[in-house]
Amino acid sequence: MENNTKFNVWYVLAAIWGVLLLQSLIFDQFRAKVIPYSEFIQALTQGKVIEIAIGQDRISGKMRNETGDGEVVFSTVRVDSDLTQKLADHNVKFSGQVENTFVKTLLSWFVPILLFFGIWYILMRKLQGGQAGIMNFGKNKAKIVGEKDIDTRFVDVAGADEAKEELQEIVDYLAQPERYLEVGGQMPKGVLLVGPPGTGKTLIARAVAGEAGVPFFSMSGSEFVELFVGMGAARVRDLFDQARDKAPCIIFIDELDALGKARGAGGYGGHDEREQTLNQLLVEMDGFDTQKGIVIMAATNRPEVLDPALLRSGRFDRQVLIDRPDVNGREEILKIHIRKVKLEDDVDIRTIAQKTAGFTGADLANAVNEAALLAVRKGRKKVATADLDEAVDRIVGGLEKKNRVINPQEKKIVAYHEVGHALVATLTPGSEPVHKISIIPRGLAALGYTQQRPTEDRYLMSADELLSKIDVLLGGRVAEQIFFDSVTTGAGNDLMRATDIARAMIVEYGMGKTLGLSTYPRQRGPVFLPTEHGYGGGRDFSDETASRIDAEARDILDQRHQHVMEMLTERRDTLAAIAELLLEKEVLLEEEFIRMVKED
């Protein structure tokens, strides 16, 4: 439970006021009437003084009041040193006085000290509650979620059926460990969830805890590492100590690569704290007993950088892939997210799933939310198909820049360029069908785009299919050459991608003539993180071989360029008609585009 104690200056003022009030009440009870010494002598001569106590500097005692039927406690400053004779002459009982300062000392020292420690205690509680105090460095920062507070279940996770089947054993073990112990089996100490960002690794870890009904400790790998040496290792120890007290439970470490990078890979002397933290994690994973019901789960999208000691048997025994969903998975994910929005009756979720190839669960959730915002912006009460299409386009290509001023000549070049892509894609067997053509600028640099919709998820590609991809990429530049007898910088990215495919066919896939079956894969990069770099970097072949590879890649591009040139030249009139219609409407959908192609 979180500590919500808050420090307030009004607490201090109230405490000071209470001390002053206490002093006032105590002293008022014993307070004497202070009179001048002359008045005391006068009362003495009149016989009103009953008794006194003589101190070194003060005289205090009792005397009768003016009416004579009561007594008054008085106090005065001693002036006359020869006072005893006068007292004896008037038969006044007197004695010496030793001044008692205990109560005054107690109030003047003890109460302020008590007040100081009270303020200090409140401040410490406040700092510890916020996880920011110097006394709290060694404490872990894990978010602890009780079993009753986890409302995520496997039904809330879609598009990862295989992963849920793998993790169902963890749920069964946490719920009924005696079944496995009876056979003599032990669950893996650690489960590593790997996959691209946004695929739902954290969500499925919470679902495991929710299904099993156990506490859930969640912490990011970067939260272990601190400026002060030793703090990360102390937090690891504290985390496992708390987990043992809460067993059975699940410990989830997100972004494990921030903590578990291979030791010694980052240079010398700069990562002592991170390596100590990693060493402590390895020790803790070796030291705890799985029979207590503690399961460690971690997530990363960079498994290639993890220390091999983390991945050996006995630590993260099981690795579960949470990949981008296929078309069926995307459809199930969309059904989960559209529960929160109102849809028009004609919305086809299957069609939206087909348009979003390569989207992760986070991308699909963002698309549904963007569609809802667009519907509200347009004054509709329900989300329409057009809203979902526009949301997908916004995620893929960026925000529309309708106010970007483009001169007519450039706009015409963009239209012919995009229609060149679309026409080659439609006329090439096995190519993905065209869904939309647009010349509305999007994002930072896109002046137009051609959107293709895959009919199915593909995992293998033939040489002919790779060549057809090169054809589609070259279609825009060829259209510019045919109609404007010149080329522009708009095809720069297309040429880079086409060159990358041609070189990969030769060097990686064994589809070229230069290397035959020999391959020289590119340097190892991130498994799940996209990169903008094509084939390059270090190489394992000679300069002569590199020259032959360059020549063959150039031959492939030249041959495909000639093929596309012949294809578009034969359909010059069709291309021009579609381009002029695109200039008029700015956006062409699949139905109208296909109709114009068939009219040729």
Q: What is the CATH number of the domain that holds 359?
A: 1.10.8.60
Question: Which residues make beta-bridge pairs with 71?
Answer: 64
Predicted pLDDT of residue 4: 43
Catalytic member of 255, 390, 418, 552:
418
Q: Give the Cα-Cα-Cα angle 18, 20, 26 (nearest 5 degrees).
A: 100
Question: CA dihedral defined by 237, 239, 244, 245, rounded to 10 degrees?
Answer: 120
Q: 378 and 336, same structural domain?
A: yes
Quick check: helix, strand or coil at residue 254?
strand
pLDDT band at 532 (very low <50, low <70, confident <90, very high): low
492: in domain: yes
Quick check: helix, strand or coil at residue 265?
coil
Q: Last residue of a domain, which of 67, 84, 99?
A: 99
Q: 267 and 357, same structural domain?
A: no
| Residue matched to tokens 């009982």 | 93
Q: Is a pLDDT exceeding 80 seen at residue 85?
A: no
Predicted pLDDT of residue 302: 85
5: in domain: no
End-to-end CA distance of the chain: 72
Confirm if 239 and 142 have CB atoms less than 8 A apart: yes
Q: Is a pLDDT exceeding 60 seen at residue 129?
A: no
The residue-averaged pLDDT of 73-78 equals 78
Q: Is a pLDDT exceeding 70 seen at residue 104?
A: no
Q: 573 and 434, same structural domain?
A: yes
pLDDT band at 265 (very low <50, low <70, confident <90, very high): low
Q: Which residue has the higher pLDDT, 397 or 390?
A: 390
Detail the residues annotated as belonging to a binding site for ATP: 195-202
Q: 430 and 387, same structural domain?
A: no
pLDDT tens per residue, range 540-555: 678 888 888 899 999 9
Q: Rounded distance, CA 413 to CA 483, Å?
A: 9
Largest separation between any pair of C-alpha atoms in the chain: 145
Q: 337 and 242, same structural domain?
A: no
Q: What is the CATH number of the domain that holds 254?
A: 3.40.50.300
Order of all β-strands in the sheet with 434-438: 449-452, 434-438, 587-589
pLDDT band at 538 (very low <50, low <70, confident <90, very high): low
Q: Rounded distance, CA 595 to CA 578, Å?
A: 10
Predicted pLDDT of residue 130: 46
Q: Is a pLDDT exceeding 90 seen at residue 424?
A: yes
pLDDT tens per residue, range 304-347: 888 888 888 878 888 888 888 888 888 899 988 888 888 888 88
Count of C-beta atoms within a 10 Å radius of residue 252: 26
Percent of the chain with pLDDT over 90: 12
- Strands 49-54 and 93-96 come out as parallel
Q: Last residue of a domain, which of 374, 397, 420?
A: 397
Predicted pLDDT of residue 103: 59
Quick check: helix, strand or coil at residue 259?
coil
Q: Rounded distance, CA 323 to CA 199, Å?
A: 6
Confirm if 119 and 112 have CB atoms less than 8 A apart: no
Predicted pLDDT of residue 12: 61
510: in domain: yes
16: in domain: no
Of the spans 97-106, 321-330, 551-560, which averages the highest pLDDT? 551-560
Q: Is a pLDDT exceeding 80 seen at residue 146?
A: no
4: in domain: no
Per this entry, what is the length of the chain? 600
- Alpha helix ranges (H) inside 253-348: 272-287, 308-311, 327-337
Q: Rounded distance, CA 389 to CA 373, Å?
A: 13
Percent of the chain with pLDDT over 70: 75
Predicted pLDDT of residue 51: 82
Q: Which of 164-173, 446-455, 468-477 is the least confident region? A: 446-455
Q: 47 and 150, same structural domain?
A: no
The residue-averaged pLDDT of 506-531 equals 76
Predicted pLDDT of residue 396: 78
Q: 184 and 268, same structural domain?
A: yes
Q: Is a pLDDT exceeding 50 seen at residue 2?
A: no
Q: What is the CATH number of the domain that holds 576?
A: 1.20.58.760
Question: Which residues make beta-bridge pairs with 400?
Answer: 442
Q: Which residue has the higher pLDDT, 560 or 257?
A: 560
The residue-averaged pLDDT of 107-114 equals 69
pLDDT band at 479 (very low <50, low <70, confident <90, very high): very high
Q: Rounded distance, CA 387 to CA 17, Å?
A: 64
Predicted pLDDT of residue 105: 62
Q: Rounded distance, CA 380 to CA 374, Å?
A: 9
Domain interval for residue 89: 32-99
CA Rg value for the chain: 42
Q: Which residue has the higher pLDDT, 83 or 396?
A: 396
pLDDT band at 64 (very low <50, low <70, confident <90, very high): confident
Q: Rounded distance, CA 281 to CA 28, Å?
A: 65
pTM higher than 0.75: no
Residue 211 CA: distances (Å) to CA of 102, 148, 207? 66, 11, 6
Predicted pLDDT of residue 552: 92
Predicted pLDDT of residue 551: 92
Q: Is a pLDDT exceeding 70 seen at residue 62?
A: yes
Q: 263 and 152, same structural domain?
A: yes
Q: 412 and 272, same structural domain?
A: no
Q: Give the Cα-Cα-Cα angle 422, 427, 432 (nearest 5 degrees).
A: 65
Backbone phi, then psi, for 138, in 5-degree steps?
A: -80, -5
17: in domain: no
Predicted pLDDT of residue 107: 62
Q: Is a pLDDT exceeding 90 seen at residue 393?
A: no
Nearest to 584 by CA among 399, 439, 449: 439
Contacts of 200 (CB under 8 A, 6+ apart): 157, 159, 160, 322, 360, 361, 362
Q: Give the Cα-Cα-Cα angle 372, 376, 382 (nearest 5 degrees).
A: 65
| Catalytic residue status for 226 | no
| Residue matched to tokens 């048997």 | 313
Q: 508 and 490, same structural domain?
A: yes
Q: 316 and 393, same structural domain?
A: no
Q: What is the CATH number of the domain that holds 63?
A: 3.30.720.210
Confirm if 331 and 353 have CB atoms less than 8 A apart: yes
Detail the residues annotated as belonging to a binding site: 195-202, 417, 421, 494
The number of domains in the chain is 4
Q: Rounded distance, CA 17 to CA 344, Å?
A: 66
Q: Is a pLDDT exceeding 90 seen at residue 273?
A: no
Confirm if 553 and 499 have CB atoms less than 8 A apart: yes
Q: Is a pLDDT exceeding 90 seen at residue 432?
A: no
Predicted pLDDT of residue 524: 57
Backbone phi, then psi, for 136, in 5-degree steps?
A: -120, 10
Predicted pLDDT of residue 257: 84
204: in domain: yes
Count of C-beta atoms within a 10 Å radius of residue 208: 27
Detail the residues annotated as belonging to a binding site for Zn(2+): 417, 421, 494
Q: Rounded distance, CA 21 to CA 412, Å?
A: 88
Q: 577 and 443, same structural domain?
A: yes
Q: Which of 124-128, 267-271, 385-389, 414-418 is the least confident region? A: 267-271
Predicted pLDDT of residue 36: 79
Predicted pLDDT of residue 147: 58
Quick check: helix, strand or coil at residue 22?
helix
Across the chain, mean pLDDT equals 78
Q: Last residue of a domain, which of 303, 321, 339?
A: 321
pLDDT band at 3 (very low <50, low <70, confident <90, very high): very low
136: in domain: no
Predicted pLDDT of residue 7: 47
